A = this chain, B = another copy of it.
């Protein structure tokens, strides 16, 4: 007697033990969702699969998150936007030259975000944002905007201190962001635009780009003086 979904791609709970701690549920769901969203994209991830990977039933997922979109937002908050206050503090407390600050910023971005699954969320928004305008708007508000604000603050610090040239900060932001976005895409799309293996070493790439940007920011300064 065939039970439901007997013949389909097996979706079976991962957690064997009954050790489900109630409080841990949302976290487990968020983790499962992150994995799957990053792996398959938003539209292509089935909510049942998220639930199964978290070791709960479909119904439970909707108990904690009212919809797939809200689940996604929660994943974004958990992995990206929720961490800005910590980062902001870190940079407010930073002592040292703004050049070091920027270098440090790019380096730890790679360590804490770029090299983790969380960076897949950015790739996901780039890919599917158009099809889910509400998510795109949320992401812009909660991630893009705070991120830009943080960077803008750093750059302005450098300009104000005379370390950087008096550039248009809003434009300069992209010189910093571009290589990071590129790296993420590289990481999450290997199979499509790469023929041979490992043509880029991310850490080296980041250092290089940091130098390049700083060179630019300072060169501009010197040129003007």
Q: Which residues of A contact B (CB under 8 A)?
A: 1-8, 22, 26-27, 39-41, 43-44, 63-70, 74, 122-123, 125-134, 136, 139-140, 144-145, 148, 170-171, 173-174, 177-179, 181-182, 185-186, 188-189, 191-196, 199-200, 212
Which residue of B has the minimal Cβ distance to A189? Answer: B126
Kindly list chain B residues whose C-beta atoms are within 8 Å of the C-beta of A134.
2
Decide: A193 near B131, CB < 8 A? Known: A1-B67, A63-B5, A64-B4. no
Interface centre among A130, A134, A174, A212 (most CB of B within 10 A): A130
A4-B63, A7-B66, A40-B131 provided; 14 other pairs, C-beta below 8 A? A1-B26, A2-B69, A4-B131, A4-B132, A7-B131, A40-B130, A126-B185, A126-B193, A127-B128, A145-B195, A170-B196, A171-B196, A171-B200, A178-B186
Kindly list chain B residues whose C-beta atoms are within 8 Å of the C-beta of A3.
22, 64
Which residue of B has the minimal Cβ distance to A126? Answer: B189
Nearest CB on B from A25, distance (A): 9
Q: Contact check: which of B8, B123, B140 meets A127 at CB < 8 Å?
A: B123
Chain A interface SS verdict (over half): helix
Kindly list chain B residues whose C-beta atoms are within 8 Å of the C-beta of A177.
193
B193, A122: Cβ atoms closer than 8 Å: yes
Which residue of B has the minimal Cβ distance to A177? Answer: B193
Nearest CB on B from A134, distance (A): 8
Decide: A41 near B127, CB < 8 A? Known: A178-B186, A185-B185, A193-B122. yes
Kindly list chain B residues whose C-beta atoms are within 8 Å of the C-beta of A126.
123, 127, 185, 188-189, 192-193
A26, B43: Cβ atoms closer than 8 Å: no
Kindly list chain B residues whose C-beta atoms are within 8 Å of the C-beta of A44.
43, 128, 131
B7, A189: Cβ atoms closer than 8 Å: no
